[in-house]
Every structure is written in C-alpha cells, then in structure tokens.
Amino acid sequence: MPAVASDVILGRVLIAAWVLLGCVSAAHAVMYKRDPRSATIWVVISFALPIIGPWLYWALGINRVRRRASQERRWAGRPVDRPALTIVHPTPDPADEAIAHLAPLRNVADRVTHLPLLPGNRVEPLHNGEQAYPRMLDSIASAERTVTLASYVFDWDDVGRSFTEALEQAARRGVKVHILVDGVGALGHFSRMGRLLMQCKVEVAAFFPLRFPFGRFRLNLRNHRKILVVDGRVGFTGGMNISQRYLVTRPAPGRVEDLHFEVQGPVVAELQHTFVEDWALATNRVLMGEEYFPELSPAGPALCRGIASGPDEDLERVYWILLAALTTAQRSVRIVTPYFVPTLSLITAMGTAALRGVDVTLVLPSTVDRPFMRWVADAYLWQLLERGVKVVRRPPPFVHTKLLIVDEQWLLIGSANLDPRSFRLNFELNVEVYAAELGGRLSRWLDALVDTSQRVTLNEMDSRPPWRRLRDGLAKLASPYL
C-alpha cells in the first residue's frame, strides 16, 4: 500500500477516534454534570482538543470515588454503629426559646446528614498556631492508646518537625499512630517526614496520590479535612494545617490567620469515624475497636453534629445546611471565609436574608494566597452589596478562617470554604454547634475584627476600571472549578 494511502487511512482513523471519544465524553458530561457551565466547558474541551480532551474528561471530570467507596464499605462494615450511638446519646428537643426558631435548620440537617445531633460536648476555639499547636502537641504527648491525624498540608518546617517528634515519641511508647496526608496538598514536603515516622512504626498513608497516566490522576478529589483525635476522646478540627505559616507572630512571609477548635464529648466519635472512613479509602484497612471508639461521657453544654461531605458522601451537604441557615436566621449572620465563589442560590439566600432585616456580614481577606480567587469574589460582590449585605476585608496576613454564626446561637466550624470545590469536589469535615456562650463569644470577637477591617462599598465595585471588570469576569467563568 502506498505511503500516502496509509497516511490517509491513519488520519481518518484518528479523526474517527477523536469524534467518537468526543461524542462519548460530551454525552456523559451533558447527562451527569449538575452545573450546566461545567457541562458546557467539558463539551468544548472534548471536541476542541483531539484525543487529549476526552482523556482529560475521563481523568479529571468524572467522579469515580462514590462507586469505589460504596463497594469498600459494604465489605468493611461500619466502624461506628450510628443507631446505637443515637440511643446512648439521645437528641433532645430544643426547648430553649432562644433556639426554637432554628428548628427548621435542624430539620434540614437531620434529613441531609441522617445523623444525630449529640448533646454533652465542649468546643473551645483556638486562635492561630500559637494557641492550637501547643494544645495539640500536649494531647499527643499524653496519648495512651491511639492517635489519628489527617492534614491537607504537613510542611517540613519547625512546626512539622515538632509534630513529627511528638508522634514519634508516642509511637515509641506503644501508641498506635496513624497519619493521613493529602496526595497533592502535602506533595513535596511530607516524603522525608513520612519516612522518618514509618521507621518508628507510625502508619503513614497518602490520600489519592497522583499516578500517571491513568487510574489515579485525581487532581480535583482532595482530602481537605483537618482532624486530630487522641485516644478517641479529644478531638481537634477546623481550618488549620500543620505548618509554621499559622504562627502569625513570626515576621515571616506567607503568614496565615486561622481558627481551630478543640472538641470533647460524644461528637468526637464522628470526627474519628470520618478519619476511619478516609483511612479505609486510602489503605483498604478499617480501624475498629474500643481503643478508637471508647464510650464517651458528656463534657459540656453544646449540641453538636459532625458533617462529613465529599464526592463519596451525599453531595453538597454543607451547601444545603448553609442555605437553610441563611433562610432561618432572624437577627444576624456572620460569615468568615478565605475564598468566596458563590452560586446564584447562595447569593439569593444571602441577599434575601439581608432584605428581611437580618444583619448579614461577610468577612473576606484583603490578601489572598491565590490572587485569582479574589478576582472571582470581586465579580460577585456587587450583587450582595445591592441587597444590603455588609462586606469587609481584613488586612494582612491572609485570613484562612472558616466560620458561620447565626443569631449568636448556632455555629458551623470546620474545613469547608464557600466555593464549588468545597461543596462538591473536596472531602471536607464540618461540625454544627448549638452553643449560646460560644456563639456570643465568637460574635464579639468577629465584631472587633470588623471594626478594624475595610468596608467594601457598592461604589467601589461599580467604579472598577474596565480592565479589572474584564479580568474579574474572565476569572468568574472558571467558577465551577475553583
């Protein structure tokens, strides 16, 4: 066969393969993508990039985790018998008049999570690494049986070395230590530390490490949770990673303000349960037994519920609870988030609450570690300001805090940002808390921060020069993936 004819046949085969793969990928995106913008983008990519476009869709655009996680849990069983947990710690009716109006919010959370609201918890806020790290290290030093730690980032710096030393000493005492880091978030920092820990019989695992070119190329599905549980009794969670960047008193570049929480009481079992499920997904091993799940006694007055969300859970749990909180609020809503990439429904809910007379305040950082995330937020803010939502920007350093307070009675704490990645793609852990004392204390703290922040005005947003409006609008087009 002449060479020219062979080239023609090969070209036709490649074109046919491109069209076929593009059609299959585009059809799958149209049928299964919830966000029409996301589906449109993947349809364009599938046809615009020969061969590579469909491969990118199948590698990055499809959520395979739900199927695999479900299969593993069928044979693994449940580490926590949740019906039994409900019986041991029954959920009381909120008879207090101060929170009676929040009953619809509780109903939504009941139906979205299918988990009990647990009484008898103590939740203590820890500001920045200066308060959080010593408490966490002291807990590890006092561990007698188990330590489970999950972190999105685990840097090889002074703080990382302090945690490594504490975990190593715990393992040498005979404590069972399990460390789970994200395969992307800890990339490039944890390898040396992980080898040191494994030499001391610490079990270390990476969550979905990148493997090329097929199968495990999951840039989008990241474990963004921050969990430390010691002896199944004391837990820590919030937005703080393991890194010296969270020590704000150090005059170092890249400093980060954040808020973490120490938790005691029955809800610690939910923190541990979330870690155990992640560990099973990463290692195919389930951690079970009384040493991980001891009987927990009441430790404080707070009603709490753990809310694990992610691609292997019911999607958008945090999102639905957030909308319910905005709808239920009667007096005030305070929101602090480092990244603000809202949906139309979220903008509507915030605006409607403000129009009802609710004092809605959104606290954002003025300095963002990823500048394009501020561009996207700026593209949306005018819609909130028009409806009376108060928006302020905190001065540097970068504010990484994630916090929602409704009527100074209900709080949502944890790892999720207000963006599509946290709502749909990341594995996140939040805790809802009914606690008037804690809500009032953190509300006063936030009010003090607002007084020292810069108020964002509608005139400021409207007077942006055309090049900034264009830049912000272009960044907004990528909202489904931010």
Which pLDDT score, from 0 to 100, does residue 61 have? Answer: 60
Which pLDDT score, from 0 to 100, does residue 188 have? Answer: 57
* Of residues 372, 353, 481, the one with CA closest to residue 419: 481
Tell me if 391 sits within 8 A of 360, measured CB to CB. no
The tokens describing 350, both together, are 């915030």
Residue 420 reports pLDDT greater than 60: yes
Least confident of 41-50, 183-192, 329-338: 183-192
Strands 118-127 and 302-309: antiparallel
Residue 70 reports pLDDT greater than 50: no
Q: Which residues are within 8 A (CB) of 445 and not within 5 positions of it... i.e. 6 or more apart?
A: none
Which pLDDT score, from 0 to 100, does residue 83 have? Answer: 39
The tokens describing 208, both together, are 């979905």
- Mean pLDDT, range 126-153, rounded to an integer: 97
- Mean pLDDT, range 13-20, rounded to an integer: 71
Three-state secondary structure along 112-166? HHCCCCEEEEEEEEEEHHHHHHHHHHHHHHCCCCEEEEEECCECCCHHHHHHHHH
- Mean pLDDT, range 415-420, rounded to an integer: 93
| Alpha-carbon distances of 295 from 52, 119, 292, rounded to whole Å | 53, 14, 10
Provide the percentage of residues in the chain whose pLDDT is more than 90. 62
Residue 149 reports pLDDT greater than 70: yes
Tell me if 399 sits within 8 A of 365, measured CB to CB. yes
Residue 226 reports pLDDT greater than 80: yes
Q: Rg of the chain over CA atoms, in angstroms? A: 24
Least confident of 93-107, 123-137, 424-438: 93-107
Q: How confident is the model at residue 92 (pLDDT cuts 50, 70, 90)?
A: very low
Which pLDDT score, from 0 to 100, does residue 277 have? Answer: 93
Which pLDDT score, from 0 to 100, does residue 35 have? Answer: 66
CATH fold of the domain at 66-93+118-297:
Endonuclease; Chain A (3.30.870)
Q: Which residues are within 8 A (CB) of 436 and not within 5 positions of it... i.e. 6 or more apart?
A: 98, 99, 408, 409
The tokens describing 155, both together, are 């840097």
Mean pLDDT of the chain: 85
Residue 240 reports pLDDT greater than 70: yes
Residue 41 reports pLDDT greater than 90: no
Residue 436 reports pLDDT greater than 90: yes
Domain boundaries along the sequence of the chain = 3-62, 66-93+118-297, 317-481
Least confident of 53-67, 120-134, 270-284, 422-436: 53-67
* Of residues 292, 243, 308, 233, the one with CA closest to residue 264: 233
Superfamily of domain 317-481: Endonuclease Chain A (3.30.870.10)
The one-character DSSP state at 242 is B
Residue 304 reports pLDDT greater than 80: yes
- Report pTM: 0.86
Q: Which residues pair with 302 in a beta bridge?
A: 121
Buried b (16+ CB within 10 A) or exposed e, 14-50: eeeebeebbeebbebbeeebeeeebbebbbebbbeee
- Mean pLDDT, range 67-81, rounded to an integer: 41
Q: How many CB atoms lie within 10 A of CB 135?
A: 16
Q: How confident is the model at residue 23 (pLDDT cuts 50, 70, 90)?
A: confident
Which pLDDT score, from 0 to 100, does residue 194 have? Answer: 65
Query: Higher model confidence: residue 4 or residue 455?
Result: 455
Question: How do residues 242-283 score in pLDDT, each as one tens digit?
Answer: 999 999 998 777 899 999 999 999 999 999 999 999 999 889
- Mean pLDDT, range 425-446, rounded to an integer: 95
In the chain, what's the furthest Cα-to-Cα distance? Answer: 88
Question: How do residues 390-403 score in pLDDT, each as one tens digit?
Answer: 999 999 999 999 99
Which pLDDT score, from 0 to 100, does residue 340 have? Answer: 97
Question: How do residues 154-210 score in pLDDT, each as one tens digit?
Answer: 888 899 999 999 999 999 999 999 999 887 756 655 666 666 676 778 898 888 776
Tell me if 165 sits within 8 A of 202, measured CB to CB. no
